[in-house]
Every structure is written in C-alpha cells, then in structure tokens.
Amino acid sequence: MALTPTDPSHCTVSSQGKELVSHGTALFPAGFYFDDLCRFPVPWHWHDELEVMIVHEGLSLVAAGSRKYTLHAGQGMFINAGVLHGARRADDTVCRFHSVVFSPRLIGGGIDSVYWQKYLKPLIQKGPKSVLLDGSHPWHQQALASIESAWQEGANAAPGYEFRVRASLSELIFSVFSQMGATRQQISEKAVRDGERIKLMLQFIHDHYAEQITLSDIAQSALISESECLRCFKSTIGHPPIQFLKQLRVRKAAELLVSSNLKINEISDRCGFQDSGYFTRAFRELKGMTPNQFRQSST
C-alpha cells in the first residue's frame, strides 16, 4: 500500500466539490495519507468514504458540516460519509496530520451482512456528522489508538496488514456507533438547507473559477440573494465566497507551479486572474511568497 504524503492531488475534487481520488484499490478500498498543511491546506470537499485523522504536529483548524474544531497534536476526528469538510493550519507553525479514508464496505461487507445492517447503515444514515476525539471522554483514547494502529499498519504494509487495518477500523466504528446517543448532533433544517446551497455554489465555483465570475453569479447558482449567499458562506465556510474563489484560484495555481513547466503568466490566465500582477499579490498574500519563490522551493 503506497503512502501518499503532502500530495495536492489527494484532494482533487469534481465540479460538485466531491473528491475524485480513489482511496486504495477496489480490492482494499482504504487510503493512508500524511498531510503537510504548511504547503497545501485540505480544500472543502466531500466523499462517500468515511475518514479518520490524528494531528501529528502543530495546531489544525478542521471544519465539518456546520461545525468547526481546533485540534492539537494527539487529537483526532471521525468524519462521516458525505460530509463537507476541509482543514488548514491554525497559525504559522508546522502542522501535519495523518488520516485514513476508507469505504464503509471495507468493514461492512455487503448490504445483506450483519455488519452493514446493524452498524454501518445506522451510523451513516443517523449518526453524527463528525466527532472530535480530544480525550474529553474515556472512550476517546481507545478510538485514537485504533486510528493510529490502522494508519501505521497501512503505511507499513507488512504482510497481512489488511486484516489488522480492518480490525482496528472495526473497533473504531463500533466505538463511534456505541456512542451515537451521546454524540448525535441535532442539525436544524436551516443547517441542512445551507449545506445543500453551499454544495451548489461550490459546484459553480469549481466549474467557473477560471472565468470572471461575480458574487451575483455565485448566488444565482443556488437561486438565492447575494446577502443570503454571504450568510451561507460565513456560517458554513467562515469567509465570503469571493475570498473562497481567490483561495481556490491560488491553490490551483500552486498545483500547476509544482506539476507543470507553464510560465507564470500562463498559470495566471488558466486560474482566472485578471493580470499577472494581481496574481502575484494574491499568491503572496495567501502563500507568503511569490509564485516564482514557491516553484523554486518545491523543486
């Protein structure tokens, strides 16, 4: 099993913001990742798989659905299937975490199995959108140990690791399932509605980030007013849609700087910036260095 460290393609998303990357293989659908948030924050996205993570170093800001968390080293999270989420470092220091993204069928089997019917299906359909594992409850330490064990086994890929990964993740899922009554989050109709609107607007932004789009265009994609658009982004993502658009353009540019030999002005055009001067200013604002410096630091 190949471990994927600090790879920007780990979070390639579709026009709906759904992650396109296949995690693991058809035979063993689990991916093991070591992410460096100093280089590439995890963009807002969602996937059909379950995800668990532990902060290895530094301080991470993680958002899942309408909830936002600050995770210290040693703390972790469970994120349910289909939940919109993203992560970035909380300050200017080093921030790294490792995660396992896995299909429910890895431990649930077929839909006619007891594992699926009794545990996975209720957890996905009625369980919490996310669970912060911060050590505030006795069961958290065992859950974190299960995540760490699964990640280490997957990263090392010693003979028979598939059995050990599945066993550790099964223990974790049973722990989360057993605590559903205590961790279930009451989600308002407004939060559900905002989530669906955000997915529509993210779809539009991902489809058209290379073009000149406005706040009005983004709002219209979800058939809402500009003021409602601003409110949805502020409550869910935490900053205005135009700021999100700029961040996306800079992230796409950073990926091209690393993966291609395109000239700076060509990358600027491809990523929707009006001119190379504004591109350089926006890139420096978000990355702390110019595009040229970023490219040189990545070689």
Percent of the chain beyond pLDDT 70? 90
Question: Across residues 157-176, what is the average pLDDT?
Answer: 96
pLDDT beyond 80 at 140:
yes
Question: Across residues 273-286, what is the average pLDDT?
Answer: 90
pLDDT beyond 50 at 95:
yes
At 211, the pLDDT band (50, 70, 90 cuts) reads very high
Name the pTM for this structure: 0.70
pLDDT beyond 60 at 280:
yes
pLDDT at residue number 186? 56
pLDDT at residue number 45? 84
pLDDT at residue number 36? 87
Domains along the chain with CATH numbers? 4-183 (2.60.120.280), 189-297 (1.10.10.60)
Phi-psi region of 33 (alpha: psi -120 to 50; beta: other; left: phi over 0): beta
pLDDT, tens digit, 9 for 90 and up, residues 7-57: 444 555 444 444 545 577 888 999 999 988 887 788 888 888 999 999 999
What value does the CA radius of gyration of the chain take, rounded to a whole number of Å?
Answer: 20
pLDDT at residue number 275? 86
pLDDT at residue number 6? 43
pLDDT beyond 50 at 257:
yes
pLDDT beyond 90 at 264:
yes
